[in-house]
Structure 1
């Protein structure tokens, strides 16, 4: 069986798995964290390109605007994103990171200075975004992340409402972005006994064809945790070497917003 790696995610505001996949090397020590993705998508507008110079994504974990509440997420690729490329269900993955479970109240995008608009006739003009460059484009979220669950925050950029012509050939960016936070995957956890067996754990989704497969290895305590598991029904196999025995659990149901706990699974 071939096993490859699986990559784990409203309000208006101004401003697929492969057929056989490997889960990231999660174990029981990962408990307390959620997987958090931020994606950028766009509603079409009457322009050739709207290029945003995205330099940082930050989230705020309290209800007030205390500066100490902001935490930066590592961008997959800082730089220029043409939001016109991400329409009709397409999106740009800005960041995917482990994040402490709990409340997130706001998010902000901090832009660089290289923001441009390409008009229908091919003319390229600057997009003026002074507030975004200084303090960021702030958006309300008000989401609660549950540990070990994978979430996706989609920033739905409305180009038609966000580009404002100034009348002198110049354009301002006053972004209108709708935020949608959704639990997109759950997880499976359990404990292999005895711990010394250190089995390979496979979760094979039987409710779709072809079957998806995720994998991890039990840690030194016997604990295992598969995160980023899409909703469905799974067969969970614990594969060991002699003198231990393989074990199988069937009909394991996973929902996007929860972790399914198998408890103790004997491989004795």
Structure 2
């Protein structure tokens, strides 16, 4: 991690840093939110393995009645019982429109099965009512530029049902939202004059948490941890003085920093 002392040396390289520092912080769109979906489960003492074939994830945004497939989904056949004791797996890393996320649904394939404790493989049939997708109620607002982490608990113990005395098993998925939280906040602002490119460091205590650079005077830190920061501004032109501002970042919210007016030396 960079320290404050390092920043003094780094200021001399501000014009070079600008060429590479216009990263995703500046590219973030206020109309888009990031959604990370993870899957976990609790142990099941009766079955050795439960494999579920996840083909697609769709979302329902706002008041729309239509379903939109997510990009960035990782389809595959997942063993739910390998996702216990705090372990999870990444199902999707997607960008979706900011606003109200009403529901999502998992579209399953046909390769669903269990492995019993004596090593037998038993295919799982899925009731026709579930074939259109497994719906999960969300009803949360998403702020543009913020990364949200959604953890789904696919309860294998309740989802696998033995069909009477037939020895067959049915998959009746029980899924709940274990957690749905924003991972950080957004801080954005403007540096004048906008003709002077500047590098900005977000410093929390002795550490530099993130850095970015201005683009026509605008800058943005996306998805940084909540807390109190010192923002240090280093102009690329050595005829201007550096500047500092105290900034408070809140979880899942956008903080607009007062305009920084660079002063001549």
Q: TM-score range by the shorter chain?
A: 0.7 to 0.9
Is 1:34 the equivalent of 2:33? yes
Distance 2:222 2:101 in 1: 20
Partner residue in 2 for 1:259: 254
The answer to whether the 8 A contact 2:57-2:73 is kept is no
Structure 2 counterpart SS, 1:172: strand
Distance 1:131 1:226, change over 3 A: farther
**Which residue of the other structure, out of 208, 224, 249, is the alignment partner of 2:219?**
224
> Alpha-carbon deviation of 1:110?
0.8
Partner residue in 2 for 1:204: 203
Is 1:79 the equivalent of 2:76? yes
> Alpha-carbon deviation of 1:133?
7.5
Aligned residue runs from structure 1 range 106-255, under 5 A = 106-129=103-126, 131=128, 134-166=131-163, 167-179=165-177, 180-206=179-205, 211=207, 213-219=209-215, 221-243=216-238, 244-250=240-246, 252-255=247-250
Distance 1:267 1:169, change over 3 A: farther
Distance 1:169 1:189, change over 3 A: same
Structure 2 counterpart SS, 1:197: coil
The answer to whether the 8 A contact 1:110-1:134 is kept is yes
> Alpha-carbon deviation of 1:58?
0.7
Distance 1:226 1:23, change over 3 A: farther
CA displacement, residues 197-234 of structure 1 (integer Å, 9 cap, x when unaligned)? 2323322333xx8x462222222x21112111122222
Richer in strand (by share)? 1
Partner residue in 2 for 1:44: 43
> Alpha-carbon deviation of 1:57?
0.9
Richer in helix (by share)? 2
Distance 1:102 1:233 in 2: 27
Distance 1:212 1:158 in 2: 41
Distance 1:201 1:121, change over 3 A: farther
Gaps of 5+ in 1: 3-21
> Alpha-carbon deviation of 1:115?
1.8
Bigger Cα displacement from structure 2, 126-135 vs 172-181: 126-135
* TM-score, scaled relative to structure 2: 0.80
Distance 1:205 1:171 in 2: 54
The answer to whether the 8 A contact 1:23-1:228 is kept is no
Structure showing greater Rg: 2
Bigger Cα displacement from structure 2, 105-114 vs 239-248: 239-248
Partner residue in 1 for 2:53: 53
Gaps of 5+ in 2: 3-20
* TM-score, scaled relative to structure 1: 0.79
Distance 1:212 1:165, change over 3 A: farther
CA RMSD of aligned residues (A): 2.6
Distance 1:117 1:24 in 2: 45
